């Protein structure tokens, strides 16, 4: 396993997210990633590399997935926030107003608060001084992981990056995500000559951003196993009847499961997802690897145990595809390293 990592992820340090009318400490911390890195090194799971992608190549890749006006906004948002009031530097920016259906999205507002809402879908994703640089560095990890497996240098590569990505869409942030790393990896695989790319999202939460980005495309199959959106975040997407649209009809598969789901039932869904990937005759795989399916996760509701993650890695290896793993959620800080590396180590050993 080749791991792509950039310590610049530390530049994204959210302080608070909105929860039940209060600002509470962020679940998505730099410490999470440090635990995964320590566990990777403890088990000596292959080489660690910092991406060498230059800024122009990265900008070109970002523009394939995200809209120009969204990228321009995120790049300059922190400076605008501090320009409103120098005291803003002491706390993060969060949106608090959004355009409802029927309201205008085509006119770019001058107001910073209005643009924060236009380009987001929740108040749980603080934008901080270093969010843009950290997210860019993370995106580069995902793209290089994809390129490495496509070139055949390694069978599996792991983008150990944060902030996570699978909730971010073409022109919105949310769910702790700004740039959609899994989508960037899938597109990088297409650009390197792979013709049918599958994205398997095993994070507890539905990968709404990734689904939306590829919803009308037949060259990228998106599969997500997640908490049922009737009760679980992100609530407004992720139902089983969402199957793709236009040319993409039949190329999206959602496998929602109820809160409390244990590993036996979760693994049955994984096998259905892998069957779909086989039927699609994918020639490359992106795994959006969130381990917030863990029984001890503080914000999620499935019941996977640490040992179960080895089986997840073996099942994924059974697809026998060049595989780019992209780090997503997982908030039980003490176990996030063990659970993540259990997947990767078992994949490598299979």
Mind telling me the catalytic residues? 167
Residues 161, 167: Cα–Cα separation, whole Å: 15
Among ligand Q9C, Zn ion, none, partner that 299 touches (CB below 5 to 8 angstroms by kind)? ligand Q9C
User: Is residue 290 a contact point for ligand Q9C (CB under 6 A)?
Assistant: yes
How far does CA 252 lie from the centroid of its chain? 17
Select the span of 7-15, 49-57, 169-177, 274-282 touching ligand Q9C (CB under 6 A).
169-177
Q: Which single residue brings its beta carbon nearest to ligand Q9C? A: 329
The interface mask with ligand Q9C, positions 185-224, x = CB under 6 A, is: ------------------x-x-------------------
Beta strands 156-160 and 323-327, pairing class: parallel
Specify the stretch interacting with ligand Q9C by CB under 6 A; choose among 34-42, 147-155, 170-178, 241-249: 170-178
Nearest-CA neighbor of 264 among 315, 314, 303, 313? Answer: 303
| Shortest Å distance, C-beta 248 to ligand Q9C | 23
Instruction: Provide the minimum distance between the beta carbon of 46 and ligand Q9C in the complex, in angstroms, as a whole number.
Output: 25
The entry of ligand Q9C, Zn ion, none that residue 175 binds, CB within 5 to 8 Å by partner kind: ligand Q9C
Residue 169 lies near ligand Q9C (rule: CB under 6 A) = no
Closer residue to ligand Q9C in complex, CB, 150/254: 254
Task: Establish if 233 lies at the interface with ligand Q9C (CB under 6 A).
Answer: yes
175 binds ligand Q9C (CB under 6 A): yes
**Residue 201 DSSP class:** E
Torsion sign across C-alpha atoms 111, 27, 213, 189:
positive
Nearest to 159 by CA among 317, 9, 259, 55: 9
Report if residue 313 touches ligand Q9C, rule: CB under 6 A: no
We find the least distance from the C-beta atom of residue 28 to ligand Q9C, in angstroms, to be 7
* Contact flag: residue 232 with ligand Q9C (CB under 6 A): no
Alpha helices in 165-307 (DSSP H): 181-191, 208-214, 263-279
CA atoms within a 13 Å half-sphere pointing along the CA-CB vector of 95: 24
- Convert residues 121-140 into a mask of x (bound to ligand Q9C by CB under 6 A) and - (unbound): ---x----------------
Residues whose CB is less than 8 angstroms from the CB of residue 104 and which lie 6 or more positions away in sequence, other chains included: none
What is the closest distance, in whole angstroms, from the C-beta atom of residue 240 to Zn ion in the complex? 19
Host H or E run for residue 323: strand 323-327
**% helix, strand, coil for the chain, step of 5:** 40, 15, 40
Nearer to Zn ion by Cβ, of 51 and 290: the residue is 290
Q: How far is the CB of 292 from Zn ion (least distance, A)?
A: 4
Q: Across the strands, what pairs with 87?
A: none
Q: Work out the number of other CB atoms within 10 angstroms of the CB of residue 344.
A: 29
DSSP letter for 108, please. P
**CB of 178 or CB of 280, closer to ligand Q9C:** 178
d(CA 89, CA 136): 21
User: Which residues contact ligand Q9C (rule: CB under 6 A)?
Assistant: 19, 124, 164, 167, 175-177, 203, 205, 233, 290, 292, 299, 328-329
């Amino acid at each position: 396993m080749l791991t792509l990592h950039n310590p610049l992820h530390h530049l994204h340090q959210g302080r608070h997210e909105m929860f039940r009318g209060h600002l509470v400490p962020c679940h998505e911390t730099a410490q999470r990633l440090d635990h995964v890195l320590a566990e990777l090194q403890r088990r000596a799971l292959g080489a660690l590399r910092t991406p060498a992608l230059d800024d122009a190549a990265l900008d070109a890749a970002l523009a394939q997935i995200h809209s120009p006006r969204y990228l321009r906004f995120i790049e300059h948002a922190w400076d605008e926030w501090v320009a409103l009031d120098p005291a803003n530097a002491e706390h993060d920016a969060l949106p608090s107003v959004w355009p409802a259906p029927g309201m205008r999205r085509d006119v770019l507002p001058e107001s910073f608060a209005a643009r924060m809402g236009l380009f987001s879908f929740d108040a749980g994703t603080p934008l901080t001084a270093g969010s843009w640089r950290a997210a860019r560095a993370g995106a580069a990890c995902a793209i290089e992981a994809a390129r490495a497996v496509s070139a055949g240098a390694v069978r599996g590569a792991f983008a150990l990056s944060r902030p996570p990505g699978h909730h971010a869409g073409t022109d919105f942030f949310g769910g702790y995500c700004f740039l959609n790393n899994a989508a960037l990896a899938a597109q990088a695989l297409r650009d390197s000559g792979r013709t049918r790319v599958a994205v398997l999202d095993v994070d507890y939460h539905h990968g709404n951003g990734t689904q939306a980005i590829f919803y009308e495309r037949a060259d990228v199959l998106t599969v997500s196993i997640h908490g049922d959106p009737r009760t679980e975040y992100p609530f407004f997407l992720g139902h089983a009847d969402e199957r793709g649209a236009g040319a993409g009809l039949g190329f999206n598969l959602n496998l929602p499961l109820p809160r409390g789901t244990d590993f036996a039932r979760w693994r049955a869904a994984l096998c259905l997802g892998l069957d779909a990937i086989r039927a699609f005759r994918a020639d490359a795989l992106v795994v959006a690897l969130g381990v917030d399916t863990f029984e001890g996760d503080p914000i999620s509701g499935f019941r996977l145990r640490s040992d179960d993650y080895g089986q997840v890695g073996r099942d994924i290896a059974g697809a026998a595809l060049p595989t780019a793993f992209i780090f997503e959620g997982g908030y039980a800080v003490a176990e996030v390293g063990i659970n993540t590396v259990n997947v990767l180590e078992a994949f490598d050993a299979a």
